Amino acid sequence: SMADNLFGTASDVLGLVGLSFGGPGVDEQIFDQVVELRQQVEDMRIEMHERFDRIDQQLDIMYDTIVLGFDQIGDQIGDLQDDVDSIVLEIASARSQLRRLEAALYGVAEDILLTDLTNEANIVLDYRNENGVDLPYLGGSPDFITAS
């Protein structure tokens, strides 16, 4: 159409005018700006990679520190578990010693108490031989209070 032809002609004229004044043409200016923009994008990509590399290094340091901390906590928990296991064994040993001591004390107490009981039983059982009568009962049941 006529408008397209006019626009194309104006563009060609501007291009020729640009060439005639010694400056770059419109297409060349656009191309130069595209090249410059592409270089800026490449520079930004490189800068972002450098920044991401620094951030990645910092994250690696943080990760290593966290892993080291968890390892130390795990070691401390293991040490505590060993201590708890040792305490459990010591308590079991003390409990066993206490049971042996209790059995020994019970045996001693039994011997002491049974000696008195045995003597008392002999006295009571020999009551008839020495007194000539049975141990008195009142109402069909022994009266331990008056018998003693």
- 31-54 burial string, b = 16+ CB within 10 Å, else e? eeeeeeeeeeeeeeeeeeeeeeee
Token representation of residue 147: 């018998």
Nearest 5 degrees, angle CA 17-CA 20-CA 26? Answer: 50
Residues in the chain predicted with pLDDT less than 70, given as ranges, are: 1-23, 114, 117-119, 121-122, 124, 127-128, 131-148
Residue 2 token pair? 């006529």
**In this predicted structure, what is the pLDDT of residue 13?**
52
pTM: 0.42
DSSP H helix total and E strand total for the chain: 4, 2
Residue-level pLDDT at 109: 77
E strands, the chain, are: 137-138, 141-142
Summarised one tens digit per residue, pLDDT across range 20-50 is 455 678 889 999 999 999 999 999 999 999 9
Q: Domain ranges in the chain?
A: 2-126
